[in-house]
Structure 1
Amino acid sequence: MITEVPVAEADAGPYGITVGPDGALWFTLVHAGRIGRLTPYGACEQYALDSADCGPTVITPGPDGALWFTRYRDHRIGRITTDGQAVSFAVPTAEGGPFGIAAAADDALWFTLTNADRIGRITTDGQVTEFPLPVDHAFPSAITAGPDGALWFTLNQGNAIGRITLDGEVTLHPLPTPQAAPVGLSAGADGKLWFVEIGAGQVGHIDLDGAITEFPLPDRSARPHAITVDSAGTCWFTQWAGNSVGSITADGRIEEYALPSPGSEPHGLAVGVDGALYVALETGAVARLKV
């Protein structure tokens, strides 16, 4: 069953969503410059940032008990405590466009710079380092910590999956499908990295040795966007054009769940402490799916 909880005005977002250390859902209101908090009981709060036009995008829990997020439009990394106190830090590369962000084994946050072909690292006290990638105009997008301790990321326009070690060594793995345009990725329970291909309408996984497998979706034009993994090891992903949420098992079995409202624009998603799947709908709501 899928229900929708209104959390903001229709043109505010949300875009990214994650579970905070307090057990609540935290989400970005990308078009309004705010961060939202939604409890499993439906109570919602919002925290205004210092700029309504900063474009908060992807959000993740940090090793310091706060939430960290990218500010795509003003090229900063944000931090917000669970009581709503927010600060931000500039990245060295002007107009870098930070997008994906994830905590790593070194107790720092690593992020992508979509406009600069770089991967960034920020410590919890705000010290930033950047690592250039060996490609041009590749649009690094999502990033996640892998089971090997390295960071893995998608190259949306570079049509590849990348890996960067904690000391900055980069390896790139080209995708088999041309113009697949990978976006979201997540570490699976099977030791693989799972990702979605918005351009090809496929879900794929990559082994730690670089072997790639791809699974075509029932609707190749559904434009899958983000992906996450539940406690049972099932991967869940949003389908922006398909206005739906999909699931895929380790052996490639796919199921789809239509969202109740047309044109919902589903983006980020996260599994809540109650075991339900929560989906950020850019039309001002969060959807809850309990199978």
Structure 2
Amino acid sequence: MLLVLIVSSSVGYFLLQGSPSDCSPLGGKAILRSRLTPQKTGGAVTTYALPSPDRFPNGVAVAADGSVWFGEQGVPGLGHLYSNGTLVEYAWPFNYPGRSSSSQTCAEKTAIWTVVLWNGRVWAGDQTGNQLVGLDPATGSVKMIKVNGTEAFPYGLTTAPDGALWFTELFASKIGRVDTAGNLEEYSLPNGKSSVPAEIAFANSTRGYYVDVGGSGQAGGLYQFNPQKFAPVKVGANMTLYSPNSLALGTGGVWVSQHEAASLVFYDLATKAWTTYPTSTVNYVDTTLPYFVRVNG
């Protein structure tokens, strides 16, 4: 089993900066192709530096051919990196507010935290646009699914066994489901406006899980639900979770990252017991803040 944990040593959950309205990392092009030279090779990891100005990459999805899709929050749009170093970047055709001051450099115009391949397109959440955006790589065209409200923040996206796309609405305290025809359904959560759902994972067609970061005096938690009849139930309530913001299904249970407590926890589905694994620190700060946990195998 390979367990992957992504951590940050900086405090702060979301960073969204103002950008000049004329800042265009792709030079005004809808699609930009380039070839990157590896900065570091050897071993299991090859490192590439993205072109300037900053793209602010975030959210990664691996395609069947081994290529990698990722969000580019400074474009905004998506990048597609192949194993030979070829990079294809796609700008979303939307206008984003920015600052006109010449002293401001290019920065994030939106927040893109998850990218998934679904229904023949590459999908991502667009915080500023309050929408899901699906890119057709063959044409560069996009489809939009607007989320209800004005600041829902579509955050964690995942596909379900029935072929639907599920996502969390971080600021709207809801979970959304989009069927293959593009119809949107939204579900309220047990803790109402105190709910801050982050990520969803499915064990099978009748059992899914999501983590709720918690807010407004309400502790976070791990919840189980049946996607065919949405009625979430908190599991492992015998332990208080501190800002649980990511989850991954492992053998016999669920891994959860605790952002505030700087640790991983594992919930054993058979014994209903929790085990805590503190994350390692670095020499320049006394804590680490885990963001994502993933299991391979």
The question of a shared fold, defined as TM-score above 0.5 by the shorter chain, is answered with yes
Once the two structures are superposed, the pairs formed by residues 101-250 of structure 1 within 5 Å of their partners are 101-104=115-118, 106-125=119-138, 126-178=140-192, 179-189=194-204, 191-199=206-214, 200-208=219-227, 209-215=229-235, 216=237, 218-220=239-241, 222-230=242-250, 232=251, 234-250=253-269
Q: Name the residue aligned to 2:112.
A: 98
Alignment-mate amino acid for residue 75 of structure 2:
D
Q: TM-score, normalised by structure 1?
A: 0.73
Task: Tell me how far 1:117 sits from its aligned partner.
Answer: 1.8
- 1:268 equivalenced with 2:296 (yes/no): no
Which of residues 239, 253, 256 is equivalent to 2:276?
256
Task: Tell me how far 1:66 sits from its aligned partner.
Answer: 1.7
Q: Name the residue aligned to 2:50.
A: 49
**Counterpart-to-counterpart distance in 1, 2:169 and 2:43:** 36
Q: 1:237/1:93 Cα in 2 relative to 1: closer, same or farther (>3 Å)?
A: farther
Unpaired runs of 5+ residues, structure 2, are 15-35, 97-109
Q: 1:72/1:207 Cα in 2 relative to 1: closer, same or farther (>3 Å)?
A: farther
Task: Tell me how far 1:170 sits from its aligned partner.
Answer: 0.5
Would you say the 8 A contact 1:139–1:157 is kept in 2? yes
Q: Name the residue aligned to 1:31.
A: none
Would you say the 8 A contact 2:112–2:127 is kept in 1? yes
Would you say the 8 A contact 1:62–1:109 is kept in 2? no
**Counterpart-to-counterpart distance in 2, 1:242 and 1:174:** 27
**Counterpart-to-counterpart distance in 2, 1:84 and 1:270:** 25
- Which has the bigger relative contact order, CA under 8 A and spacing at least 6? 1
Task: Tell me how far 1:205 sits from its aligned partner.
Answer: 2.5
SS of corresponding position for 1:186: strand
Task: Tell me how far 1:37 sits from its aligned partner.
Answer: 11
Alignment-mate amino acid for residue 110 of structure 1:
W
Alignment-mate amino acid for residue 81 of structure 2:
I
Alignment-mate amino acid for residue 193 of structure 1:
G
Would you say the 8 A contact 1:66–1:80 is kept in 2? yes
Q: 1:132/1:257 Cα in 2 relative to 1: closer, same or farther (>3 Å)?
A: same
Task: Tell me how far 1:190 sits from its aligned partner.
Answer: 6.4
Would you say the 8 A contact 1:66–1:81 is kept in 2? yes
Would you say the 8 A contact 1:245–1:257 is kept in 2? yes
Task: Tell me how far 1:118 sits from its aligned partner.
Answer: 0.8
Alignment-mate amino acid for residue 58 of structure 2:
T
Alignment-mate amino acid for residue 172 of structure 1:
E
Task: Tell me how far 1:4 sits from its aligned partner.
Answer: 10
Q: Deviations 1:123-164 (Å, cap 9, x if unpaired)?
A: 232332111122221111010001110100000111011101
Q: 1:259/1:121 Cα in 2 relative to 1: closer, same or farther (>3 Å)?
A: same
Alignment-mate amino acid for residue 141 of structure 1:
Y
**Counterpart-to-counterpart distance in 1, 2:131 and 2:261:** 31
Would you say the 8 A contact 1:99–1:114 is kept in 2? no
- 1:79 equivalenced with 2:94 (yes/no): no
Would you say the 8 A contact 2:39–2:49 is kept in 1? no
Alignment-mate amino acid for residue 181 of structure 1:
V
Once the two structures are superposed, the pairs formed by residues 31-42 of structure 1 within 5 Å of their partners are none
Alignment-mate amino acid for residue 123 of structure 1:
D
Q: Name the residue aligned to 1:287.
A: none
**Counterpart-to-counterpart distance in 1, 2:172 and 2:211:** 14
Unpaired runs of 5+ residues, structure 1, are 16-33, 276-291
Would you say the 8 A contact 1:227–1:237 is kept in 2? yes
Query: Which stretch has the larger CA shift, 241-250 or 187-196?
Result: 187-196
Identity of aligned residues (%): 22
Q: 1:10/1:45 Cα in 2 relative to 1: closer, same or farther (>3 Å)?
A: farther
